[in-house]
Structure 1
Amino acid sequence: MSAAFINLVQRLQNGLIVSCQAPVDSPMHHPVVIAAMAQASINQGAVAIRLDTPAHVQAVSGQITAPIIGLWKQQIPEFDVYITPQFHHALAIAQAGADIIAIDATLRDRPGSETLESLIARIQTELGKPVMADVDTLDAAIAASRAGADLIGTTLYGYTAATQHQTPPGFDLLAQMVAAIDNPIICEGGIASPNMARQAMTLGAYAVVVGTAITGVDLQVKAYNVALQTALS
C-alpha cells in the first residue's frame, strides 16, 4: 500500500462511516437529499461517507472534505456480482470524486474477462484509488487480501447464496477476518444500534459502516409500521 493510500485509510481508523443511500423510487434518493444526509453525518463526527452512483458521489464530493467510499450498483444479466462489477463502473465513480472504490469481491462469477486481481490492480494504478473489497465469507476475504485489496468489509454477509441462511451483522465473520488477515477490516451490514457498533470495535473492526439505522428512512418507517400492524392483528 502506498504512503498516500495509507494516509487515506488511516483517516477511517476507529471511526464511523455513514452509508447515505436510498431506494431509487424514494424521494430520499435525490442527490440534494443524499448530500444533506452526508453533511449532517460529517457534522456529527462521521469519519467518512459511503455512496452509491456517480450522481450521488458528485453531489457530495463538493460539500465535504472527509473521504468518500464510492460504488455503483449495477445488475448485469446472468451475474450476481453487482457492486462496481467492472472497471468502467469504477472509472465513473472515481471521476465523480470518490476517494476509495468499493467493489464486490465475493467468489461468484464475474462479468467479462476481468479477474478480481486485475480489477483491483487497475483501480489502484490507473485511477490511483484504494480498493475496499466487499465480501461475504472468510474464503472471499482471504482471496481479496491476496488480490491486493486495501480494505476488506463484511458488507455482503447474509446477502449471497453462500450466506443467505445468516443474518447480519457478521460478528463471527468479522472476528475470523481480524484473526486471519492483516488488512484493515471494516464491519458493515446489520449494525442497528450504537452498542452493536461498539461491539464490532471490540472484536477488532478497523471502522464501522452504518446505513439503514441512520439514513434508511424508507426501511425504518416500513419496519415500524409492520410492527404496529402486527400488534393490532
Structure 2
Amino acid sequence: MDLAGLLETLRDTLIVSCQAYPGEPMRDPDVMSRVARAAVIGGAAAVRVQGLADIRATVAAVDVPVVGLWKDGPDGVFITPTLEHARAVADAGAQIVAVDGTRRPRPDGLTLAQTVAGLRDTHDVLVMADCGSLEDAVAAQEAGADLLGTTLAGYTGERPRTDGPDLDLIALIAVTCEVPVIAEGRIHTPAAAAQARRAGAFAVCVGTAITHPSTITGWFVDAIAADG
C-alpha cells in the first residue's frame, strides 16, 4: 500500500495505544503484542506502540498499521527525540513513526524539518507529529509531518491540561491546518471519543482507557471511595 492509501485507511477510525510503563506487570513485548491483537479484534484500525521490541512483536502479530515511537529520557523532548530514534523505529517495522512535534530544541540539535527529511531519505513511512499547541501543529505541518497529534496538549506549558480531550485545540488544528489531526490525550470514554471526532479529528487515538488496567481499576476504586 502506498503512503496516501495508508493514510486514508485511518480516516474516521480508532487507533489504540498499547503501552505499559517500566516496572509494570504488562511491560513485556509479547504481552503488548497480544493487547494489540485484542484491540484489532475489537475494531482498531491501527495500533500505537512504544519501544523497539514492542514494535517488532506487534508488527508480526497484527495486520493493521503500527504507529511506532521510542520514549527515551525522563522529560522534555523524549518521544522519538532524534533522527537516530526515528530511523530505529522505522527499522523495527512501524509504518507510521510518531515523533515529538513541538517547537522545543531536540537532543541531536536537528530541527523537526531536518528530522522528517532525514527519515524520508532512508525510509518510506508516514510521520506523526505529537504536538502540544496550535503553533506546534502549524510548524509541524511546515516541517513535512503527515499527521498532527494532540498528544502533548497540556504537557508543554502552552495550554492548560483539560480534564478530557482538548477539544478546542482539535478544532483549531482542524480548521487551520491541511494535514489531518489525530485526537489523542485524556480520551477516557466513548462519548469523549465521539466528541473529538465531531471537533474535527481525522482519527481518534485512545490508550489508557482501553489498555491500562491499573489506571482503569483506580478510577473505579476512587469512585467507590468517594461515594462512601
The normalised TM-score by structure 2 is 0.95
1:31, distance to aligned residue in structure 2 (A):
1.2
Which of 181, 186, 190 aligns to 1:190? It is 186
Which segments of 5 or more consecutive residues in structure 1 lack a partner in the other structure?
none
Structure 2 counterpart SS, 1:29: coil
Distance in 2 (alpha carbons) for counterparts of 1:168 and 1:203: 13
The one-letter amino acid paired with 1:12 is L
The one-letter amino acid paired with 2:124 is G
Distance in 2 (alpha carbons) for counterparts of 1:63 and 1:196: 29
The one-letter amino acid paired with 2:71 is K
For these two proteins, the number of residue pairs brought into alignment is: 228
1:104, distance to aligned residue in structure 2 (A):
0.6
Alignment partner, residue 206 of structure 2: 210
1:53, distance to aligned residue in structure 2 (A):
0.3
- State yes or no: 1:100 paired with 2:59: no
Alignment partner, residue 157 of structure 1: 153
In structure 2, do the counterparts of structure 1 residues 35 and 87 end up closer, same or farther at CA, with 3 Å as the change threshold?
A: same
Alignment partner, residue 170 of structure 1: 166
Alignment partner, residue 43 of structure 1: 41
1:57-206 maps to which residues of 2 (within 5 A)? 57-75=55-73, 80-206=76-202
Contact kept? 1:158, 1:168, Cα under 8 Å: no
Structure 1 counterpart SS, 2:26: helix
1:228, distance to aligned residue in structure 2 (A):
3.2
1:168, distance to aligned residue in structure 2 (A):
4.0
Distance in 2 (alpha carbons) for counterparts of 1:169 and 1:208: 10
Distance in 2 (alpha carbons) for counterparts of 1:165 and 1:178: 19
Distance in 2 (alpha carbons) for counterparts of 1:226 and 1:181: 39
The normalised TM-score by structure 1 is 0.93
Structure 2 counterpart SS, 1:28: coil
Distance in 1 (alpha carbons) for counterparts of 2:145 and 2:164: 22
CA offsets per residue over residues 99-139 of structure 1, 9 Å max, x none? 10000111222112211100011122212211000001000
Question: RMSD of the TM alignment (CA)?
Answer: 1.5
The one-letter amino acid paired with 1:153 is G
Distance in 1 (alpha carbons) for counterparts of 2:109 and 2:209: 37
Identity of aligned residues (%): 40
Distance in 2 (alpha carbons) for counterparts of 1:86 and 1:100: 16
Which segments of 5 or more consecutive residues in structure 2 lack a partner in the other structure?
none
Distance in 2 (alpha carbons) for counterparts of 1:5 and 1:139: 26
Structure 2 counterpart SS, 1:62: helix
1:60, distance to aligned residue in structure 2 (A):
0.6
CA offsets per residue over residues 178-209 of structure 1, 9 Å max, x none? 00000011000111111111111112211000
Contact kept? 1:22, 1:218, Cα under 8 Å: no
Distance in 2 (alpha carbons) for counterparts of 1:108 and 1:49: 26
